[in-house]
Structure 1
């Protein structure tokens, strides 16, 4: 260690903060690269490379955290303190170099198309047929005469998120997605089954082929549990990563049909549809995406499985739902959940493939519904 040393007194809260505790022992910290320190959660500022700092700690165990300025590498450990001075060298440089190299590789990979991105509709549908053949079911199927129509989605990788902030997601196994959002008729079958007594209000709209609305996240979960029991198959909500993969269907544009909203491509504000800003449209009223899925953008927001996180930092990259450590509503003490796709009343900028929104999981309204997924063998 070098001879340049900085002494820091970590004060005991019972001492009034006036002087270091008499029983304090010294901890001498040095790092092989610049980093920031916290001791027991308290910010201790920067520890410069090869420049030791001495801390006086009371007897007992102390939580030490060191993180590089760019946040790529973090080390945390419990340091015991007694009556002897302890020297600790924090090794960060090698791991940081590896993390930087991996980050460069990831950025390089994100410069070009991944998987089916940019493929023709014919190529994408061939991938679907291949996936369906592998699992032994038709590309479009039902598990019973009164069950939702499902579409097989092939496994693959893609670049998730806004153009300025994409990350790679790899979905290892094919899965199935509802061709449409769950309809009023499909929800009525749930009510008739006796497994729910909840009949959502119809907003004054008429038609069994409309998307069911006024259903919250909890209602959606009850529906997929019932459908799973009814069919003996594993139905669920999509993860957020699965939803965007299914929505994009190989597209890299703002909407799955292009970079401009255009005319009559979906039901949202300024989309020139007969329902825009008036009400939800019957499912399947617009052309499907390359996977054959309808209304992935506009019409109604769709609940997905994930809890809300402000960014994708730390999100799963395997397509699974991010269901831990999500945000909690301070008003209702309920988890915030993710909604995707936009609605009949939303600004078109909020009806793009990459846009995400959050809502209290108990919230229900006339512009939110849900789409289902099924796990395949």
Structure 2
């Protein structure tokens, strides 16, 4: 083959790659979208969170500062989408109840979804009398939240997961370095959060307060939200400051963020950290105790993210297949 012919073949291949890449960008632009649950009328909304850097943690002079919020350090994160709202009962119950999923679906379930391991049936009302209509699902363990993400993956073919602790704080801050994404004046919090002063000690309909600048509702208050991280002390280690994630084989404690409907204003600060507690299972009579439910945690919920950079299939399965140690 002559040199000019080789050049033409290589150039043609280059154009093909560019065309395919451009086509991919056209069908998956990095912009807000609604994720439909196939074969149902249900969907949820996602917004893009741009890649960037921020200062994670809080300064000691911030009102309400806790020692576990320091030292502050600069974190660099890749781009991702995040759910505009906390996962609601109508979405979570399709995963929880196979018969409900079958009943609402317009087509038979695939064998993968049909064979999915699902939560054990709770022995009490996991809404805690707070209702379900457009309200956040509550009481699931971190494992249960991750398995819900597995169900979403099998239903949609798209990898959803829990946010890392750093991703959660970055998204909640939305560019702010203050106590809250709207500044440091706690008197304004009623416009943005469901908390002790306005909740009547119950969860509220998602999106009933104003969103943060990135279009995320209820990041502060309503229910605490699971992250995928193990709770550990912060370390200002430059080798751990790019897309950080803390993993452990221990079951407790894991990190939750955002505060909830009975939190005080200071506990809604975007830098505030919370740790899961085995006392949330003390009413569970099972031995070992359920991997799925916290029967004394009506304040715990979840929100999903989707990374712009899609992990490999083996990484996805490794994320979903981690089984927590038995909880006695």
TM-score between the two structures when normalised by the length of structure 1: 0.58
Corresponding residue number in structure 2 for 1:342: 259
Q: Is contact 1:316–1:322 with CA below 8 Å preserved after alignment?
A: no
State the alpha-carbon separation in 1 of the partners of residues 266 and 26 from structure 2.
Answer: 38
Give the aligned length: 234
Of 41, 60, 81, the residue aligned with 1:176 is 81
Q: Is contact 2:73–2:236 with CA below 8 Å preserved after alignment?
A: no
State the alpha-carbon separation in 2 of the partners of residues 288 and 140 from structure 1.
Answer: 17
Larger fraction in helix? 2
3-state SS in 2 of match to 1:148: strand
Deviation at 1:138, TM superposition (A): 3.4
Corresponding residue number in structure 2 for 1:282: 205
CA deviation map 1:77-135 (0-9, x unaligned): xxxxxxxxxxxxxxxxxxxxxxxxxxxxxxxxxxxxxxxxxxxxxxxxxxxxxxx9895
Corresponding residue number in structure 1 for 2:226: 303
Corresponding residue number in structure 2 for 1:269: 196
Going from structure 1 to structure 2, the CA distance change for 1:228 and 1:366 (only over 3 Å counts) comes to: same
Q: CA RMSD in A?
A: 2.4
Corresponding residue number in structure 2 for 1:162: 58
3-state SS in 1 of match to 2:274: strand
Q: Which segments of 5 or more consecutive residues in structure 2 lack a partner in the other structure? A: 1-24, 61-70, 102-113, 279-290, 310-328
CA deviation map 1:22-56 (0-9, x unaligned): xxxxxxxxxxxxxxxxxxxxxxxxxxxxxxxxxxx
Corresponding residue number in structure 2 for 1:316: 240
Corresponding residue number in structure 1 for 2:303: 371
Corresponding residue number in structure 1 for 2:49: 153
Q: How does 1:56-67 map to 2 (within 5 A)?
A: none
3-state SS in 2 of match to 1:366: coil
State the alpha-carbon separation in 2 of the partners of residues 138 and 169 from structure 1.
Answer: 23
Corresponding residue number in structure 1 for 2:140: 215
Deviation at 1:375, TM superposition (A): 1.8
Q: How does 1:119-158 map to 2 (within 5 A)?
A: 136-144=29-37, 146-158=42-54
Larger fraction in strand? 1
Of 154, 169, 177, the residue aligned with 1:252 is 177
CA deviation map 1:156-210 (0-9, x unaligned): 1111101243210011x31111110100111122223364254661111223211
State the alpha-carbon separation in 1 of the partners of residues 138 and 55 from structure 2.
Answer: 30
Deviation at 1:232, TM superposition (A): 0.7
Going from structure 1 to structure 2, the CA distance change for 1:282 and 1:166 (only over 3 Å counts) comes to: same
Going from structure 1 to structure 2, the CA distance change for 1:299 and 1:133 (only over 3 Å counts) comes to: farther
